[in-house]
Structure 1
Amino acid sequence: MMSGKVAIVAGFGDVGKGSAASLRQSGARVMVTEADPICALQAAMEGYEVVLMDEAIKGADIVVTATGNKDIVTADHMRDMKDRAILCNIGHFDNEIQVEALKNYKWDEIKPQVHEVTKPDKKRIILLAEGRLVNLGCATGHPSFVMSASFTNQTIAQIELWNNSEKYEKKVYVLPKHLDEKVATLHLEKVGAKLTKLSKEQADYISVDTKGPFKPDTYRY
């Protein structure tokens, strides 16, 4: 049960935002650590307490790393963690957490991908997926609907490159917004969404086409 538990999410990028929201929806009291001042301000404006890992980890019941960086939870941090605190990573490889610092401790496998690591002071850490990506190690990955959107993006991108190869140099591009909108449109029916249609006058008023794209390329969702 997560209700009432204190959780720390390290990193408030796309993955951290989703992790923090999910923990909050489950009743946890969520704190965030951030190095980016913009992301830190976003977290604060959404009602999360923005803290330092060094100070907050002592009272945390759940710690989730989601930074894409290394050494986010160090050996010193883990020494300070309370008994049976849960530790996991959803942001990067297993070096977000200094798992190697735990290798000489006593490990008990509670169930597949869930280990109870006993520290010298007899306090235990519940480590998920050995510090690797927890959504893959302890679950079945992304939901099929999310994968559908991802694969549709890839398929439409390949079709676009095949049909209009002369438009593109050999470099990485963001999917054109009209194709991004097409991917979203293809998935609306599945979630029971009905799309409002702009009149010609409405479209002209905001300087778009009635068929899209509906936002400039600079727009950030």
Structure 2
Amino acid sequence: MRGEIMESHIRNIDLAPQGQLKIDWVAGHMPVLNQLRKEFEQELPFKGKKVVVCLHLEAKTAYLAKVIQAGGAEVTVVASNPLSTQDDVVAALVAGGIHAHAWHGATEEEYHQHIHQALDFQPDYIIDDGGDLVSTIHQQRRELISHVQGGAEETTTGILRLKAMEQKGELGFPMIAVNDAQMKYLFDNRYGTGQSVWDGIMRTTNLVVSGKTVVVAGYGWCGKGVAMRAKGLGARVIVCEVDPIKANEAWMDGFEVMQMLEAAAQGDFFITVTGDKDVIRGEHFKVMKDGAILANAGHFDVEVNKVELKALSEEMRVVRPNIEEFKLKDGRKIFLLAEGRLVNLAAGDGHPAEVMDMTFALQALSLTALTEQVTPLSAKVYPVPHEMDLRVARLKLNALNLKIDELSIEQKEYLSNWVHG
């Protein structure tokens, strides 16, 4: 068994002051998390507990780690993506007493080494993004399964992996599916992804979107947000789907719907948001326009088949930061953003702080729900309790100084009685 370690592995502690400025900025725009921080400082729900947080290490996730720390936890953070790590933010966390194992641009070997170093902390609870912590524990660090009391998962991709483990009877501890909460997917997935994906694409390419054809692969909540923002920017939008219900929804929302092979010949921008592999592959590259731009907004860099793209190319080079040019053997050029990783985080700052405020409030409250269990939960995937969803919604409305109506006793009785007409 690996021994516990307390040191951090980061790029440069001297970057901490500028990282702290970033954290302070987002903290000023996350009122729900600020309210929870005040409560945590008084109640100390995580006192004596160790928490490992595996998320995209930028300012907003850093503030979540600080809020959990304020609740009495000893916290370790590790990156869920090597290109989204901001070294100054990580340094600020370490300067503030949080352990960290991450740096920007980590190799695949370093990335997995960092996960193991974080797990050497022997956490009581975890927060995961994409399932890499859970996967590593169950495949390589099984001695920790009995020690971890539970955790929460941030993403669609991670929950798919967790449910697959549960169905096979291989999940070793309870996990709360934060991504499936309404106050998460209705806002984070839709509005957060919609804005941050285009922010990443536009700041990276410095190209106009209006008048272009945008192909969106996947019409879940993230895809809805990306398509909606593309339409607002003046683009013609094509949606590709495998789900007939979502395809009908995209059509009724005013978008064109077609198979990827047909769309591939028409698109100027391609954005994958499916969570699956090989969404755009060799057959599609062969018919794309000269100058087509590919971006991925799914968790893993498998949605655009980079192996097949390289095989079709005779020359590759980086033409701008986060833009790789693939010159095909017939002379056409195809551009891939951020190595096919999450474009909104690898080439941008991720979702707006006001949106992540709600998601991270759910994450923090999910951990408190686990600590409050008198009888340990079974090793299953659990939904966020509806009352928790409602609490975050009310806190958000209070922060916005918005008031809504309440049902009268008579109205509640009417709704609960089948006799009334």
Task: Using structure 2 for the length normalisation, give the TM-score.
Answer: 0.47
State the secondary structure of the residue aligned to 1:188: helix
Matches within 5 A, 1:133-148: 133-148=342-357
Q: Which has the higher helix share?
A: 2
- Which AA in structure 2 matches 1:171? K
State the distance in 1 between where 2:381 and 2:231 align: 36
Give the 3 Å change call, closer, same or farther, for CA 191–8 of structure 1 in structure 2: farther
State the distance in 2 between where 1:168 and 1:196 align: 36
Q: Out of 387, 390, 410, which is 1:181 matched to?
A: 390
Do structure 1's residue 10 and structure 2's residue 184 form an aligned pair? Answer: no
Do structure 1's residue 63 and structure 2's residue 270 form an aligned pair? Answer: yes
Q: Out of 216, 228, 232, which is 1:25 matched to?
A: 232
- C-alpha displacement at 1:160, in angstroms? 2.3
- C-alpha displacement at 1:60, in angstroms? 0.8
- C-alpha displacement at 1:62, in angstroms? 0.9
Q: Out of 91, 98, 104, which is 2:305 matched to?
A: 98
Matches within 5 A, 1:1-221: 1-103=208-310, 104-166=313-375, 168-207=377-416
- Which AA in structure 1 matches 2:233? S
State the distance in 1 between where 2:225 and 2:408 align: 35
State the distance in 1 between where 2:384 and 2:277 align: 29
- Which AA in structure 1 matches 2:279? I
- Which AA in structure 1 matches 2:403? K
Give the 3 Å change call, closer, same or farther, for CA 105–186 of structure 1 in structure 2: farther
- C-alpha displacement at 1:167, in angstroms? 8.1
Cα-Cα RMSD: 1.9
- Which AA in structure 1 matches 2:236? R
State the secondary structure of the residue aligned to 1:16: helix
Please say if residues 281 and 309 of structure 2, whose CA atoms lie closer than 8 Å, have aligned partners that are also in contact.
Answer: no
Please say if residues 324 and 339 of structure 2, whose CA atoms lie closer than 8 Å, have aligned partners that are also in contact.
Answer: yes
- Which AA in structure 2 matches 1:82? K
Please say if residues 69 and 92 of structure 1, whose CA atoms lie closer than 8 Å, have aligned partners that are also in contact.
Answer: no
- C-alpha displacement at 1:65, in angstroms? 0.8
Could you list the per-position Cα deviations for residues 158-187 of structure 1 after superposition, in whole angstroms to 9, with x for gaps in the alignment?
222322443843322101111101011111
State the distance in 2 between where 1:131 and 1:70 align: 12
- Which AA in structure 1 matches 2:317? D
- C-alpha displacement at 1:81, in angstroms? 0.9
- Which AA in structure 2 matches 1:110? V
- C-alpha displacement at 1:192, in angstroms? 4.5
Task: Using structure 1 for the length normalisation, give the TM-score.
Answer: 0.86
- Which AA in structure 1 matches 2:215? I
Structure 1 residues not aligned, in runs of 5+: 209-221
Give the 3 Å change call, closer, same or farther, for CA 75–25 of structure 1 in structure 2: same
